Amino acid sequence: MTKRLTLLAAAMILFSLILAPANTARRPPKSASAPQAAKFPDLSGVWYMHGKFGVNRDLSPGGDLPFTPWGLERMKENQRELNPDLRCLPPGVPRMWTLPFPFEIIQLPGRVLIHYEQDSIVRDIRLDGRAHSAELPLYTGDSTGKYEGDTLVVDTTEFNDKTWLDSAGHPHSDQLHLIERISRPSHDVLHVEIAIDDPKTYSKPWKAERVFDLKADWEISEIVCEENNTYLNAPDAPADK
């Protein structure tokens, strides 16, 4: 009897060893985990211009900008004209970065939204690798983006030429190509590097920067230009071209 039990036990152990690889192959080890979604830097929140940037609304890095003859003439025209936003035209970018209004960055899978309080403008930055749309020129251009480490890199083209680069009246043409590098060097600080390339207006590319502070307890409000603009219906306001 003892011999039979011993043989039976040995047979059961052998049988279990034979089946073990097949059973293991059917289900992953307990330590295995599901694939993780791609990580990206957290740039979300409501932001407002920092310190000296709230006073200086001129993007030029100092000194004379490298104007082409066309660009210099356009600059002189802008200095004679009424500020475009006083006619309730959208400010466009990069000028939106220079205005004393907060904005909110909202990060979603495959896209980033930047909601500017000024005129309730929303930029929709697609991160899916699509090409720029050339259907029509836009005030804020057509933006695509990608993450490079802790930085969001935004590539924008397809502009019209109706906006200024900043409140100093620096012009641009419909050939403007904008690269913005948005990063968060610390929890409460947002840094935006702006690279401006417009061969019709400037003989070489140039850069500017903006710094913003986190406003954790702020919310974006509604600004309606037509109801807050004392210049829009002024009798001596120049007509929009």
What's the CATH code of the domain at 134?
2.40.128.20
Report if residue 233 sits inside a domain.
no
Query: At residue 24, what are phi and psi to the nearest 5 degrees?
Result: -65, -35
Q: Is 97 exposed, middle or buried (0-12, 13-18, 19+ CB in 10 A)?
A: buried
Buried b (16+ CB within 10 A) or exposed e, 166-188: bbbbbbbbeebbbebbbbbeeee
Are 82 and 237 in contact, with CB atoms under 8 Å apart? Answer: yes
- Above 50 in pLDDT, residue 240? no
Report if residue 77 sits inside a domain.
yes
Q: State the total domains in the chain.
A: 1
Say how far apart CA 93 and CA 222 lie, in whole Å.
19
Which pLDDT band, with edges at 50, 70 and 90, does 159 fall under? very high
Domain coverage including residue 72:
45-227
More confident position, 157 or 231:
157
Whole-angstrom CA distances from 109 to 104, 143, 177 are 17, 16, 25
Report if residue 7 sits inside a domain.
no
Report if residue 154 sits inside a domain.
yes
| For residues 11-19, average pLDDT | 45
Report if residue 127 sits inside a domain.
yes
Report if residue 215 sits inside a domain.
yes
Report if residue 56 sits inside a domain.
yes
Looking at residue 167, what DSSP letter applies?
Answer: T
Report if residue 21 sits inside a domain.
no
- Above 50 in pLDDT, residue 22? no
The mean of the pLDDT values for the chain is: 84
Give me 110's structure tokens: 């495959």
Say how far apart CA 231 and CA 241 lie, in whole Å.
16
pLDDT for the residue 27: 39
More confident position, 167 or 16:
167
Which pLDDT band, with edges at 50, 70 and 90, does 77 fall under? very high
pLDDT for the residue 179: 98
